[in-house]
A = this chain, B = another copy of it.
Amino acid sequence: MAMEDVISVDEIIEKVRLALSEGHWDEAIAVLEPLRRSDQAEVFSDLPPAQQQEILPFLTPENSADIFEEMEDEDVVDIANRMRTDSLVEIVNEMEPDEAADLLGDIPSAQAEEVLAKIDESEDVRALLSHADESAGGVMTALDVRISKDMTVDEAIWHLRHMTPESEQIYYLFVEDKGSHLVGVVSLRDLVIAKPGTLISSIMDPDPLYSEVGADQEEAAKLMQRYDLLALPVVDEEHQLVGMITYDDLLDVLEDEATEDIYRLGGVPREQPADIGVASAMKTRLPWLVLNLLTALISAAVMSLFENTIAQVAVLAAFFPIVAGVSGSAATQTLTVTVRGLALGDISPKEGIKALGRELLIGLINGISIGVIVALIALAWKGTPLLGLVTGAAVFLNLICAGIAGVIMPLLMHRLKLDPALASPILVTTTTDTLGYFFYLGLATLLIVGLT
């Protein structure tokens, strides 16, 4: 199936909805069942809650578990909250331990305890539940298979066949000694192509990368990304193997990180789902706007200093949006490039000086080009050469400052161990606004008011 043949989820949803609204469960199930599980999850989570509840009893627990694993956490919690404990237990029993722990950690603790008491792998899940959400322990899953360093290759393969691990993730096999300590890693590939009698200890990598159970999940994700790992073993304080973080979790963490950067640059300090409630959205957004308002007061104060000038030469006001706007955009360009460069590791703080030189030069060229255009516009529009000169010169000076501010602020934040994406936009815009008004009105006071 190529991309063009991929199902149109919207069409499928319509079909399922229609069938359900006419009371034809069997038709709805017949549409849903042959789909791939991520498609099932997408269709299912787009159904109205009442229809979700109607359809659930007709799916097998394995199927429901697959769907739950693919759905957004919050959506699953909503559904779980409305289910009878017995049905929930059947489904949780079929889920991967880490997904089960995520779910049980999010539903009311009384309900979670009831489910925990009845599921098969309650120990595994309970162990996973004990770790902080954002830690490596919180994102890891239990290991289906461990092999011992003293096994031979055919013993290990026999062991795999015997265990028939449920998990898709056995592309790396983690090797332990008799005390359950992590001592190596073997890829499934190396296991398959090795001669049958070979000892695991002789084909394993004896110095595997790992994460500690309490480490930040982002650190673990970075390690996996940096070294292109499909799975990372997680160990406790005694270096005993307690779980692993897998590829799909890595993708989620990476997507979250990109979203976080995009949000912070856009002035939304904390990530939030697209369908967040108004109250929760306000809680992160309003304080940011108030902060913005307070910094805008600095520009307002500068503007206020020059009230006399403005009263005498009201035509000056026409160019406020241009002086502030263009420099703000230029600063945002520089800021964006710098913040993303820092996030991807393309700009080390050391290379900051080089970046500063480049952006200074860009600011200079921007300043000359845009400055001249603005001066000509002012001259043509208002017919005053002096106004053209003042406007052009202010834009020129401010674009140079914009380049400097766009590099310096994020580098400074980075040096201070703050997130450059979080604090910089507000600081950079305030700087270009304030300096823009200062240059423009200062020059106007000196040259226009002073001369007339």
- Known A-B contacts A3-B215, A222-B3; the reply to A266 vs B332 at CB < 8 A is yes
Which residues in chain A, 288-335, are within 8 Å of chain B measured between CB atoms? 288-290, 292-293, 296-297, 299-301, 303-304, 306-308, 310-311, 314-315, 317-322, 324-326, 329-330, 332-333, 335
**Do residues A278 and B329 form an inter-chain contact, with CB atoms below 8 A?**
no
**CB-contact partner of A325 in B2, B299, B307, under 8 A:** B299
Which residues of chain B are within 8 angstroms of A292 by Cβ–Cβ distance?
325-326, 329
**Do residues B278 and A299 form an inter-chain contact, with CB atoms below 8 A?**
no
Tell me which of A82-90, A120-128, A251-259 binds B.
Answer: A251-259
Tell me which of A23-31, A53-61, A107-115, A359-367 binds B.
Answer: A359-367
Residue A413 interfacial (CB < 8 Å): no
Bound: A103/B99 CA distance, A = 42
**Interface size range on A against B:** 35 or more
Bound: A292/B373 CA distance, A = 12
Copies in the complex: 2
**Binding site secondary structure of chain A:** helix
**CB-contact partner of A278 in B247, B341, B358, under 8 A:** B358
**Do residues B314 and A300 form an inter-chain contact, with CB atoms below 8 A?**
no
**Do residues A161 and B369 form an inter-chain contact, with CB atoms below 8 A?**
no
Residue A230 interfacial (CB < 8 Å): yes
Residue A370 interfacial (CB < 8 Å): yes
Which residues in chain A, 160-213, are within 8 Å of chain B measured between CB atoms? 160-161, 164-165, 168, 170-171, 187-189, 191-195, 207-212
The 3 A-B pairs at the shortest CB distance, nearest first, are namely A266-B336, A274-B341, A258-B258
List 10 additional contacts besides A262-B265, A296-B325, A300-B318; criterion CB under 8 Å: A10-B348, A161-B192, A191-B192, A228-B251, A230-B230, A247-B247, A268-B336, A285-B366, A292-B329, A321-B324
